[in-house]
Amino acid sequence: MPGKDRASAAEAMLFLADVRERLTIIPLSAEEYLDAVASAAAVGVTGGGIYDAILGYCALKGGSETIYTWNVKHFKRLSPEIAERVAAP
């Protein structure tokens, strides 16, 4: 987090350990990663939107039926396979 609410390195490691304990990490291969970036770039996505695309591709690879986000608009501009699964919490 930016500014005064920024997590320390130790706090970040605790958060990551908690995530790893509770969730399945879905890695992308180099080819899958490049496909995600190319797909996003093809529809004009730049900057942090590329990160959204990578998350979307991880969700697809993991078999997610729904991708929950507060940034629905950002994910809806991605590939149809991702956009159709997006919902607000």
Q: What pLDDT shows up at residue 30?
A: 97
For residue 47, CA distances in Å to 12, 13, 51, 63 come to: 23, 25, 8, 26
Please calculate the CA angle 64-26-1 and round it to the nearest 5 degrees: 95
Residue at 32 is within a domain: yes
Residue 66 domain-assigned (yes or no):
yes
In a domain, residue 17? The reply is no
Residue 45 lies in a domain: yes
Q: Is residue 3 part of a domain?
A: no
Average pLDDT score over residue span 25-32: 95
The answer to whether 43 and 78 are in contact (CB under 8 A) is yes
Asked if residue 21 has pLDDT above 90, the reply is yes
Q: How many domains does the chain have?
A: 1
pLDDT in tens, 48-85: 899 999 999 999 999 999 999 999 999 999 989 999 99
- The domain of 75 spans 28-89
